[in-house]
């Protein structure tokens, strides 16, 4: 018996290539998904929206330096013997924002992971995105997995101790956001958090066709800041459906069909809409 989809559940879609062994894991026994580091993205601006230090007034600069020194004291990297030296070093850093941007990028790369999906504006047609099939599913020869968004969020969150999880639609802008460093840090934590998420969920307008929904996990463990394990295993209940690409090979279609049959996952096959630049799909009934 194929499980029924719940009408009110929003579904988000991940385009995959069955020829890639890592992509197959999403349908294997553990339903494994991967939270990528920003340094692997095909968009060089993605998660590269840093603080604009040129916005700081002289007073703000000194406040920023004070905050940095207090933090370094807490982690025992600064004391009376080297405080003056460290202050001057930070002051000099502010004269070269490119170096600070590089450091922030390194933190993003090591501490956060992003799982990207497609959520169409019409919500239930995320599997119809022709460009996504071309760019991320091996030119329509791959497959597309639909996840129940709420279940996906809940299961990922339950698997991530000492980590923050944020989900939402990407904001596509024509203008590059200007993020001013907020000082003092201790009194601006909420705004700093919003700025942080702006940095990881804002993309150029050119990418708007993706209609991207992304889950961002942020490692909060100060003892082990690097995000080493980027995989998360899901249960079968997270998967709403699978759609086969319209140009998928017979061999790959049979392999995916057999998995969906065993796991009671609803399965579809994409086909061209006659006389239109669009895709429709037909359900494959599994006995």
Domains contained in the chain, number: 1
Whether the Cβ atoms of residue 132 and residue 139 lie closer than 8 Å to each other: no
The per-residue pLDDT for 183 is: 67
Task: Measure the CA–CA gap between 94 and 132, rounded to whole angstroms.
Answer: 41
- Among candidate residues 46, 249, 265, the one with its CA nearest the CA of residue 137: 249
Is the torsion defined by CA of 165, 122, 18, 257 positive or negative?
positive
Q: Give domain status of residue 28, yes or no.
A: yes
> Does some domain include residue 58?
no
- Specify the pTM: 0.86
Q: Is 139 helix (H, G, I), strand (E, B) or coil?
A: coil
Residue that is written with structure tokens 């997270």 in the block: 238
In-domain check, residue 77: no
In a domain? residue 165: yes
Q: Per the domain annotation, does 76 fall within a domain?
A: no
In a domain, 55, yes or no: no
- Domain of 186, in residue numbers: 11-48+108-284
Residue 241, domain member (yes or no):
yes
Span 38-69, pLDDT tens digits: 999 999 999 988 888 877 888 888 888 888 88
Q: According to the model, what pLDDT value does residue 67 have?
A: 84
pLDDT at 186: 67
- Which one-letter DSSP state was computed for residue 4? P
129, 214 in Cβ contact below 8 A? no
Q: Give the residues of the chain that fall short of pLDDT 70.
A: 1-8, 121-124, 183-186, 222
Number of Cβ within a 10 Å radius of residue 47: 22
Look at the alpha carbons of 266, 269, 275, 278 in this order and tell me if their dihedral is positive or negative: positive
The per-residue pLDDT for 282 is 96
Q: Is residue 207 part of a domain?
A: yes
């Amino acid at each position: 018996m194929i499980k029924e989809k719940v009408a009110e559940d929003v579904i988000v879609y991940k385009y995959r290539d069955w020829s890639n062994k890592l992509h197959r894991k999403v349908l294997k026994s553990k339903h494994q998904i991967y939270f990528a580091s920003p340094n692997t993205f095909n968009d060089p601006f993605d998660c590269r929206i840093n603080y604009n230090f040129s916005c700081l007034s002289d007073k703000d600069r000194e406040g920023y330096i004070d905050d940095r020194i207090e933090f370094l004291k807490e982690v025992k990297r600064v004391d009376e013997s080297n405080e003056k030296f460290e202050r001057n070093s930070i002051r000099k850093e502010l004269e070269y924002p490119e170096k600070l941007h590089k450091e922030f990028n390194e933190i993003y790369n090591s501490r956060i992971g992003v799982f990207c999906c497609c959520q169409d504006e019409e919500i239930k047609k995320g599997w119809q995105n022709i460009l996504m099939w071309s760019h991320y599913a091996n030119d329509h020869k791959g497959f597309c997995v639909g996840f129940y968004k709420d279940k996906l969020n809940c299961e990922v969150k339950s698997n991530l101790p000492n980590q923050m999880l944020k989900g939402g639609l990407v904001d596509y802008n024509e203008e590059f956001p200007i993020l001013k460093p907020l000082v003092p840090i201790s009194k601006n934590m909420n705004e700093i958090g919003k700025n942080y998420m702006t940095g990881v969920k804002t993309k150029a307008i050119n990418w708007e066709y993706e209609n991207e929904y992304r889950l961002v996990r942020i490692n909060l463990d100060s003892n082990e800041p690097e995000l080493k394990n980027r995989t998360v295993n899901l249960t079968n209940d997270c998967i709403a459906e699978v759609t086969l690409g319209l140009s998928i090979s017979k061999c790959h279609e049979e392999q995916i069909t057999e998995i969906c049959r065993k796991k009671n996952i609803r399965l579809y096959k994409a086909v061209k809409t006659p006389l239109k630049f669009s895709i429709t799909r037909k359900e494959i009934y599994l006995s």
